[in-house]
Amino acid sequence: MAQKTVVITGASSGIGAALAELLAGQGMQVVLVARRADALQEVVARCGPSALAVAADMTSRIDVRRTAQEALARFGRIDVWVNNVGQGITRAPSQLTDEDLDDMMRVNVKSALYGMQEILPHFQAQGAGHIINVSSMLGRIPFATFRSAYNGAKHFLNALTANFRAELQESCPGVVVSLVSPGVVRTGFGLNARHGGPDSRALPGSQSAEEVAAVIAGVIESKALDVYTLPGAHDRVVSYFRALSQ
């Protein structure tokens, strides 16, 4: 894989941290972004001198802009921007509050939108670039009722990704927009959900963060547009919608 500069949001733990370490080991220049500065520095130390830490909140447009500016000041260019910020929720749809909905949209959708909008002028100027949005299987099949608003936010992200891609296919075809949909990942995601929740590390059929990171690294190389990290996930989605139409 040719050397690239890759910005990874949500990089202080889980998938983001695993991806940063993997890409740094492959010779990439990585920009790690998260709110938790101390945890972020620990990951940067494992990545080595080709890594830059930016303590920032991706739900703030100002912070997103500062992230891009610091990355460009250090490395001179950005080739890949990975929107990996996300948070779950544990609440049935009949019990959702305005605050629940606003929080899920802010963290799971707005963070990605701000990233896409901020990096786009740079990608347009250099005539190439790659945006990768990390979604979820729940953005395809909303089978976890207690994740309700998270499911909806990821469905929104999927549609936004597709529309952003369609817009750029006409105006700037050198910019690729990919979507990656993991299933259950063995991280602190469940415990960190709004209102708490089951530990994702104890759920069946899970993947490690390293396994998901390897898939995302493959997407950086292949520029595939829509990728599931679990074998058989595509067929499961097709079967789900086929059953609904019968």
Mean pLDDT within 41-65: 97
pLDDT at 205: 83
What are the start-end ranges of the E strands in the chain? 5-9, 29-34, 51-55, 80-83, 129-134, 175-181, 226-228
Cβ pair 176, 225 in contact under 8 A: yes
Q: Which domains, ranges and CATH numbers included, belong to the chain?
A: 5-245 (3.40.50.720)
pLDDT tens per residue, range 153-185: 999 999 999 999 999 998 999 999 999 999 999
Give residue 2's pLDDT band: very low, low, confident or very high (50, 70, 90).
low
The alpha helices in 50-176, defined as continuous H runs, are 61-75, 98-105, 111-126, 148-171
Show the tokens assigned to 116: 């896409």
Query: Which strands, in side-by-side order, build the sheet including 129-134?
Result: 51-55, 29-34, 5-9, 80-83, 129-134, 175-181, 226-228
pLDDT at 3: 86
Mean pLDDT (the chain, rounded): 95
Cα-based angle 38, 24, 162 (whole degrees, multiple of 5): 90
pLDDT at 1: 53
pLDDT at 246: 78
Q: How far apart are CA 117 and CA 114, in angstroms?
A: 5
The alpha helices in 76-147, defined as continuous H runs, are 98-105, 111-126
Task: For residue 237, count other CB atoms closer than 10 A to its CB.
Answer: 15
pLDDT tens per residue, range 119-153: 999 999 999 999 999 999 999 999 999 999 999 99
Q: How far apart are CA 111 and CA 118, in angstroms?
A: 11
pLDDT tens per residue, range 197-219: 888 888 878 899 999 999 999 99
Tell me the catalytic residues.
Answer: 150
pLDDT tens per residue, range 61-118: 999 999 999 999 999 999 999 999 999 999 999 999 999 999 999 999 999 999 999 9
